[in-house]
Amino acid sequence: MNSTVKKNILTFCICLCTVLTFAQQKMEKDLYLLQSNFVDLRFGAMIHFNMGTFTDEEWASPRHDPKEFNPTKLDCSQWAKACKAAGMTYGILTTKHHDGFCLWDSKYTDYDIGNSPLKRDVVAEYVKAFRKEGLKPCLYFSIWDRHNGVENGGAKQEEFVMNQLTELLSNYGEIPMIIFDGWNWKMGHKSISYQRIYDHIKKLQPNCLVSEHNGNSPLQTDLVYYEGPKGVYPQGNNVYPSQMALTLTNGWFWHTNAPKEVKDINYTLDKLQRVIPLYCNYMINIGPNREGLFDREAVEHLEGVGKRWKKADRLPLPKQPVIPRVYLKSTIVSSSTGEAFIEPKGAAGDGSPIADLLSQKTASVMADGISDLVGDNGGFAAFQTYWKFSPDTERYIVLDLGSEESISKFYYLPAQLKGYSGIVTQYVLSVSNDNQSFKAVKSDYWSKTSDLKIASFSPVKARYIKLQILKSIDEAMISEVGAGN
């Protein structure tokens, strides 16, 4: 090969790298813009309306007859007008809850509105009504589906989820945001692949933000969701684009005593004043009644809020920390000596994580896809998994990616709600292709906080990545680790 050809090839490669780098920067800029625009929505409604509305259950049984779902006066326009009167700018509808009943006629299950007396597409009517009032229609979707067998994860179950998401994100126009439930805390992002679901959503709708019921970390989410009824609130120094919901009554779904439980207007005004300055949208959860309408008491509450709430100025969303957008799967995790901790311990049942997650004993607990802890005042107990290292001279983790991959980031989430205890404060990262000879790619310090830690370094191709812990506060504890780009 002559020098001219070599020069041309080199020039092409440099140009290609420049284009790819620019494309990546553009993606990051676009994501920040989407996040910024979303938190500027400030005030919205989470609308829990599904089978539980008619069965007086918060988590409905998966074995009900679809004929029980029969809202005789369904009027999504009434919902939209009441939300607009409150000064809201968006809504989130429970398209499917944990029992698996679908508010659209899905071709992948018979447990849906197509087999109900209603035989109307609730998702379509909701989307149309909210758009007509100038409100953005967002969707809620439970990965955990007890009717259709999506409980423990697996290839077949993952495909079912993908197919239903295709329906929701192909047939209703632009959806600004979709929020998931029953995934991170129930079966983890490993049993149902976070990366595959995320990429599928972005392929269908590039501008659709992804959120999840996963607590207080930006790990594997575009928007942090703080679940208020479980005591999870944004911290006073929060800079993550986020949202939080509290219920208008004493339940997510409508119950017969709901009209008497509607909270005082000052309750909502107080939360709007406290939450929104923290770059966190505030949502009131409203459960339509069995006729398919907001109760008069709920409508009056919303109208009262709209008359008194005034939108205040706020600084722009701060620049966001660099986190992976591509998460590489670890096939094997090896570690220096330590012990796996599961909190709480106990048998898996309805509302608890799957049995396999509750019986982990090895270092793989650090890459099980359960990456956070959500406090709970009822329903199921708080849950997290982590590895506590023995106080050996050398403490380390080695992730096996299964094959040679390009790597440029490593993330580490400390065990949550432990104060400063267990936080790794100094480390070295090394890579290898044979798990014998390692080359250092990063050596640095991490802050003394329980926040998600990210180490970025120049892209390198390797199969193995090793974290050596040089210093920690007390015995090191790690909830979740991983590599990506």
Share of the chain above pLDDT 70, in %: 92
Of the listed ranges 83-87, 130-134, 290-294, 343-347, the one predicted with least confidence: 343-347
- Say yes or no: 297 and 341 in one domain: no
pLDDT of residue 375: 60
Same domain, 75 and 142: yes
Same domain, 283 and 336: no
CA gap 142, 290 in Å, rounded: 21
- Measured CA to CA, the distance from residue 145 to residue 67 in angstroms comes to 19
- The pTM of this model reads 0.92
Write out pLDDT tens, residues 280-316: 999 999 999 999 999 999 999 999 999 999 999 999 9
Could you tell me if 469 and 428 are in contact, meaning their C-beta atoms sit under 8 angstroms apart?
no
- Residues 333, 450: one domain? yes
Residue 275 contacts residue 261 (beta carbons within 8 Å): no
- Give pLDDT, residue 392: 77
Residue 424 in domain:
yes
Q: 102: which DSSP letter?
A: B
Write down the pLDDT at residue 351: 77
Query: Confidence class of residue 91 from pLDDT cuts 50, 70 and 90?
Result: very high
On whether residue 11 sits in a domain, the answer given is no
The answer, yes or no, to whether residue 133 has pLDDT greater than 60, is yes
20 is a domain residue? no
Looking at the structure, tell me whether residues 381 and 421 fall in a common domain: yes
Strand, coil or helix: 477:
strand
Residues 261 and 113 in one domain: yes
CA dihedral of 193, 196, 198, 204, whole degrees rounded to 10: -150
Average pLDDT, the chain: 91
Q: Assess whether 304 and 252 both reside in one domain.
A: yes
Q: Report yes or no on 452 lying in a domain.
A: yes
Q: Is the domain of 364 the same as that of 264?
A: no
**Domain containing 421 — which CATH number?**
2.60.120.260
Number of domains in the chain: 2
Q: Are residues 53 and 125 in the same domain?
A: yes
Do 276 and 378 fall into the same domain? no
Determine the structural domain holding residue 368 and report its residue range.
Answer: 327-484
Q: Is the predicted pLDDT of residue 4 greater than 60, yes or no?
A: no
Res. 2 pLDDT band, cuts 50 70 90: low
- Compute how many other C-beta atoms are within 10 angstroms of the C-beta atom of residue 185: 27
- Residue 348 and residue 465 in one domain: yes
* Model confidence at 9: pLDDT above 50: no
DSSP characters over 292-327: SS--HHHHHHHHHHHHH--PPP-PPPPPPPP--SSE
Q: Is residue 430 in some structural domain? A: yes
Does any domain span residue 10?
no
For residue 116, give the CATH number of its domain: 3.20.20.80
The reply to whether 432 and 288 lie within a common domain is no
Q: In which residue are the tokens 């901790």 written?
A: 341
pLDDT band at 379, cuts 50/70/90?
very low
In a domain, 17, yes or no: no
Residue 147 above 70 pLDDT? yes
